[in-house]
Amino acid sequence: MTRETWATRTGFILAAAGSAVGLGNIWRFPWMTAENGGSAFLAVYLLVVLGVGVPGLLGEFVIGRRARRNPMGALRDLSGSRYWGAVGAVSAVTGVALLSFYSVVGGWILRYLLVSVTGPVTGGAAYLAAPGPYFQQIDFGYQAALFHLAFLGLTGTIVLGGVRRGIELGTKVMVPAVLVLLVGMAGWVVTQPGAVAGYQFFLGFDPAALRANAASVLAPAAGQALFTLSVGAGTMVTYASYLGEDRSLPFDGSVIALLNTGVGVLAGLVVFPLLFSQGVEPGTGGPGALFVGIAGAFAALPGGELLAIGFFGVVTLAALSSSISMLEIPVAVLVDEGGWSRRRSVATLLALVALTGTVTAFTPALFDFVAGTLVDLLLTGGLLAFLLFAGWVLGPDAVEEYATGAGALAARLVTPWMLAVGVGIPIFLVFTLLTTAGVDAQFGVWPTVAAAIAVVALVLLGLRRRGVWRAVK
Ligand code: PFF
C-alpha cells in the first residue's frame, strides 16, 4: 500500500500547529507561569522556545522527511541498526503515556463544555455555584473515567479517518476556529474591570525577579517549551514523514512555533485578567486552578455563561487537535512496522489507552506523576536521542535534508543549527535533567554544567561518529 501524504502544504502546517497548540498553552502554561513567578517564567520560556524548541522541531522534521517512516522505522532504517530502532520505539510508549493523562484532562474539559451548553436548560451550569467543590467532585473517579472515554473516542474517530480525511481535515477546521475564538475573547476581556492587574502579572517584566529566579525557572520552562511544541515525543517525526514534496522545513517550523507561542500568549491574555478580575490568586491550586478560577470568573461576569461556552469550546478543539497527534505516533508504528490496517491499529490502541487512562482517572498520584515527571523525562530524553541522531548519525545527510527546499536565509543558518543540534542543545537537555534530579542544589550550578558537558562528551565518544564535524566542515 502506498503511504499517505498531506494533501496541501497548509495542511501539514495546520496539523503540526494543531498538535502544538493544546492544553499545554491554555491549561499548563498559565498554571506553570503562575507557579514560577509570572513574567520571569515567560521570558525564560520564550528564550527556550527559540533556542531549543525550534531547532529541536527542525531536527524531528529532518528525520521524519528523510525516512518517510514512523519514529521507530526511521531511526532503524536511517542508521541500519536495530538498537536505534529500539530507541525510536520509545516514541510509541511516549504517545500512550501522554494520551493516558491528556485524555483525562480532555474529559474534564468536555464535561465543562457540556455543562456550559446545557446550563440554560438545567437552571445554570452546575460548576458556577461552587466552582471549587464542584471540581473536587468530578476530577477523579468513575465520572472522570467516563468523560475520558468520550474524549478518547472523539480522538480515535478523527485518527481513524487517516492522514488526509481525518487529521488534515480536522485540524483545518479546528486550528483557525481556536485562533478566531481566542482573539475574540481576549478582546472581550480587555473590557473587564480589574483586567489590568492580570496583564501586569503576566507581562510586567521584572528583571530583578528574573535574575533571582532564573536557575529554578529553567527546568520547568524547558519542560514546558518541549511540551507545548510537541517536541521529543516523535509526533513531529511522524507528521513530517507524511510530507510528499520538498518544502522549506525551517520556514514551516518557524510558522508553527510562532502560531503556538501566539496562542500561548493569547491564552494568557484571556486567563490572567479573568483570574485577577475575580481576585483569584493564580499561583494556588495546581492543575485544577484553571477550572476553579476561570469558572468562578464566569459566574461573576455579565455574559459569563456565553463566554464559558466559547472558552471550553476553544479548549476542547485545541485539546483534540493535540491528542490526535499523540495517538498517531503508535498508530504509525503499528501500520508501518506491523503491517496492520489503520482500523485495527486504532482499535487496539484505543482499548489500551481506555485502560491506562481509566487507571489514571482513578489515581491522582499517578496522574501527577505521568503529567509531570514522566512526561518531562520522556520528552527530554526523546529529544536528546533525536538530536544526537540527527547530528551524529545523519550528519551531512541532515544538513542536506535541512537545505532541501529551504530559502537562502534559512540555508545560511544550517551550520549554527547543526552545532546546536549536535552539541549545544544536548548539553542543555542533560543539564535540565540533572537540575530536575537536584544535582545543582547539591553541588552548585557550574559543577552541574561541567557534569552535563562530561555526560554528552562520553555519549559522543560512545557513538564514535564524526557526523557533526563532517557536516560543518
Ligand atoms: N503540544 C501539546 C499541548 O501543548 O497541549 C501537547 C503535546 C502533543 C505534547 C503531542 C507532545 C505531543 F507529542
pLDDT for position 132: 82
Ligand 1 pocket, mutate which of 322, 329, 331 (most atoms under 8 A from CB): 322
User: Which residue puts its alpha carbon closest to atom 11 of ligand 1?
Assistant: 230
Q: Round the average pLDDT of the chain to a whole number and report it.
A: 90
Going by C-beta distance under 8 Å and a sequence separation of 6 or more, which residues neighbour residue 49?
A: 225, 228, 229, 257, 261
Longest dimension (CA), the chain: 70
Q: Encode pLDDT of 217-229 as tens digits.
A: 787 788 889 999 9
CB-CB neighbours of 202 under 10 Å: 23
Q: Encode pLDDT of 390-422 as tens digits.
A: 999 999 999 999 999 998 888 899 999 999 999
Question: Residue 150 in contact with residue 350, Cβ under 8 Å?
Answer: no
At which residue does the C-alpha cell 483586567 appear? Answer: 195
The atom of ligand 1 lying closest to the CA of 329 is 13
Domains of the chain in sequence order: 9-372 (1.10.4160.10)
The Å distance, Cα 369 to ligand 1 centre, comes to 17
Examine the pLDDT at 344 and tell me if it is beyond 70. yes
The atom of ligand 1 lying closest to the CA of 325 is 10
pLDDT for position 323: 98
Examine the pLDDT at 96 and tell me if it is beyond 80. yes
- Judged by average pLDDT, the poorest of 10-24, 270-284, 318-332, 421-435 is 270-284
CA torsion angle for 275, 278, 281, 285 (degrees, to 10)?
-70
235 lines ligand 1 (CB under 6 A): yes
326 lines ligand 1 (CB under 6 A): yes
What's the average model confidence in pLDDT over 150-168? 97
pLDDT for position 44: 84
The Å distance, Cα 24 to ligand 1 centre, comes to 7
Q: What is this structure's pTM?
A: 0.94
- Judged by average pLDDT, the poorest of 141-155, 272-286, 317-331, 364-378 is 272-286
What's the average model confidence in pLDDT over 38-61? 89
pLDDT for position 285: 57
The Å distance, Cα 18 to ligand 1 centre, comes to 9
The Å distance, Cα 46 to ligand 1 centre, comes to 17
25 lines ligand 1 (CB under 6 A): yes
Examine the pLDDT at 64 and tell me if it is beyond 90. yes
Ligand 1 pocket, mutate which of 227, 290, 375, 386 (most atoms under 8 A from CB): 227
At which residue does the C-alpha cell 512526561 appear? Answer: 375
What's the average model confidence in pLDDT over 156-172? 97
Examine the pLDDT at 384 and tell me if it is beyond 70. yes
What's the average model confidence in pLDDT over 161-176? 96
Helix 249-277 and helix 289-300: axis angle, to 10°? 60
What's the average model confidence in pLDDT over 57-70? 97
Task: Measure the CA–CA gap between 106 and 312, rounded to whole angstroms.
Answer: 10
The Å distance, Cα 19 to ligand 1 centre, comes to 6
